[in-house]
Amino acid sequence: MLQSGKHLKTILIAAFLMIAASITCNAQTVHVYRKNSTMSSDIICTFRDGKLFEGNSTSGYDILCTINNGKIYRGNSTFSYNIEYSIANHSVYQGASTYTEDIIFCKRGDRLYRHNSSMSSAIIANINGYRVYRGDWSFSSDLLFYFDGPYDFEQLAAVLLYAKTL
User: 9-62: per-residue pLDDT in tens?
Assistant: 555 555 444 444 444 444 699 999 999 898 999 999 999 999 999 999 999 999
- Tell me which residue of 51, 53, 50, 31 sits closest to 42, measured CA to CA: 31
Side-chain-facing half-sphere of 140: CA atoms under 13 Å:
2
pLDDT of residue 27: 65
pLDDT of residue 134: 95
User: Could you say which DSSP state residue 159 is in?
Assistant: H
Give the span between the Cα atoms of 72 and 116, in whole angstroms: 19
Q: Are 124 and 135 in contact (CB under 8 A)?
A: yes
101 phi/psi in degrees, rounded to 5: -70, -10
Count of Cβ atoms closer than 10 Å to residue 135 Cβ: 16
Domain that holds residue 146: 30-162
Dump pLDDT digits (tens) for 66-116.
Answer: 999 999 999 999 999 999 999 999 999 999 999 999 999 999 999 999 999
164: pLDDT confidence band, cut at 50, 70 and 90?
A: confident
Residue 22 lies in a domain: no
Q: What is the CATH number of the domain that holds 93?
A: 2.40.160
Count of Cβ atoms closer than 10 Å to residue 89 Cβ: 10
pLDDT of residue 36: 87
Angle at CA of residue 42, ends 78 and 130, nearest 5°: 70
pLDDT of residue 25: 44
Give the span between the Cα atoms of 104 and 112, in whole angstroms: 10
Predicted TM-score (pTM) of this structure: 0.81
